[in-house]
């Protein structure tokens, strides 16, 4: 094995492990609602992935698809070597991460003034912040070849029709998930976790917050959006005593109002801007992705809770609860 191939194998392993670490750390940051810090960690994961893939190519481990499939079936993985540091960063990446440390020390996310749009060159993995240059200063790849981690995409990249469809699906899914469960099952916390009704009530609270923000964005010119933390699950404990039929009626009524506000909006309306202290000028589309992403996590948790209630199990719900940090 030559020195160059030995170094590429070391890079392949270390960059691959580093990519996994940064990706997992990014998901955790999202669970803790540090969305800009998550964006930084996702960009850092992309840097590692690009460099790992290029090491794999240099080693000749990527061939025609039929050959790659044959290798996969045979279990012929690249030879592993000692990795050395796996999350080592450039001086610029360290500077960005140190910004995150200072923000977390103050108990908050990075703001849009502290972390701009991020771009990663898909050829060499060079990380850039702010307005992207016309080409990568390291390898010359044109701007169109950059991976982007923009502030406005930090909550997701779903389009208007998908957002509306997901909100409609959520309404039907909640109704399906409560079917066949008793009032006692729906009102009783499992292993200290929220009760089923807590989560449904929480979805009502969040739907109201989103609708109020959407209305402000649509009806006023660049309104200042409240940065107060949305209602918590603890706040939703009051819903445990509400009969499930009444609770479902509240949820469906709120969601119908939200959908009535969103249906038929033009592309220009979805791009109307609200000003958020953390994320800066953000379009309605940004907030739509936010509420869909939030609800999706709770729907998965509700589905797991239903399964465990009906099958007398509780281990999986702990896994889901920890995964979403709810």
CA dist., res. 190 & res. 196, Å (int): 9
Q: How much is the pLDDT for 101?
A: 92
Give the pLDDT band (50/70/90) at residue 4. Answer: confident
| pLDDT tens digit sequence for 28-39 | 998 888 999 999
**Percent of the chain residues past pLDDT 70, beyond the cut:** 88
* Residues 223, 226, 227, 233, Cα dihedral to 10°: -140
Tell me the range of 53-62, 93-102, 254-263 where mean pLDDT is highest: 254-263
Q: Provide the 3-class DSSP secondary structure of residue 207.
A: helix
If 0-12 CB within 10 Å is exposed, 13-18 middle and 19+ buried, where does residue 210 land? Answer: buried
DSSP states along 31-72: HTT-HHHHHHHHHHHHHHHHHHHHHHHHTT----HHHHHHHH
Here the tokens at position 36 are 């800009």
What is the rounded average pLDDT for all residues in the chain?
87
Rounded to a whole number, what is the largest CA-CA distance in the chain?
71
Residue 67, number of CB atoms within 10 A of its CB: 10
- Say if strands 280-283 and 127-129 run parallel, antiparallel, or are unpaired: unpaired
DSSP 8-state class, residue 189: -
CA dist., res. 290 & res. 30, Å (int): 11
CA dist., res. 269 & res. 171, Å (int): 24
What pTM was estimated for this model as a whole? 0.77
Low-confidence winner among 76-80, 227-231, 233-237 (lowest mean pLDDT):
76-80
Q: How much is the pLDDT for 79?
A: 63
Tell me the range of 27-36, 90-99, 186-195, 263-272 where mean pLDDT is highest: 263-272
Q: How much is the pLDDT for 273?
A: 95
Q: How much is the pLDDT for 315?
A: 46
123-140 mean pLDDT: 94
Task: Select from 90, 15, 82 the least CA-distant residue to 49.
Answer: 15
Q: Where are the alpha helices (DSSP H) in 137-283?
A: 160-178, 183-187, 196-219, 244-262, 267-270
Find out whether 151 and 36 touch, Cβ atoms under 8 Å: yes
Find out whether 225 and 275 touch, Cβ atoms under 8 Å: yes
Residue 283: its H or E element? strand 280-283
Q: How much is the pLDDT for 320?
A: 41
């Amino acid at each position: 094995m030559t020195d160059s191939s030995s170094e590429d194998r070391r890079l392949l392993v270390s960059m691959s492990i580093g990519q996994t670490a940064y990706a997992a750390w990014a998901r955790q940051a999202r669970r803790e609602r540090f969305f800009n810090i998550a964006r930084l960690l996702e960009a850092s994961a992309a840097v590692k992935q690009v460099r790992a893939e290029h090491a794999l190519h240099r080693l000749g481990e990527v061939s025609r698809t039929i050959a790659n499939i044959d290798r996969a079936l045979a279990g012929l993985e690249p030879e592993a070597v000692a990795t050395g540091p796996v999350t080592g960063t450039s001086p610029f990446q360290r500077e960005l991460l140190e910004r995150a440390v200072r923000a977390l020390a103050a108990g908050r996310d990075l703001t849009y003034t502290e972390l701009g749009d991020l771009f990663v060159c898909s050829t060499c993995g060079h990380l850039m912040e702010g307005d992207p240059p016309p080409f990568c200063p390291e390898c010359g790849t044109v701007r169109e070849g950059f991976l982007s981690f923009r502030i406005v995409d930090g909550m997701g990249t779903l389009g208007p029709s998908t957002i509306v469809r997901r909100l409609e699906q959520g309404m039907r899914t909640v109704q399906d998930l409560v079917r066949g469960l008793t009032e006692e099952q729906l009102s009783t916390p499992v292993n200290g976790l929220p009760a089923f009704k807590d989560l449904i009530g929480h979805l009502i609270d969040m739907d109201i917050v989103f609708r109020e923000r959407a209305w402000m964005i649509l009806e006023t010119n660049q309104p200042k959006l409240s940065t107060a933390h949305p209602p918590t699950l603890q706040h939703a404990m009051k819903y445990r005593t509400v009969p499930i039929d009444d609770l479902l009626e509240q949820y469906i009524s709120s969601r119908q109002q939200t959908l009535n506000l969103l249906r038929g909006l033009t592309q220009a309306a979805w791009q109307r801007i609200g000003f958020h202290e953390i994320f800066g000028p953000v379009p309605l589309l940004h907030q739509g992705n936010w509420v869909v992403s939030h609800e999706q996590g709770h729907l998965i948790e509700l589905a797991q809770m239903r399964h465990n209630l009906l099958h007398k199990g509780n281990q999986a719900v702990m896994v889901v609860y920890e995964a979403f940090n709810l």
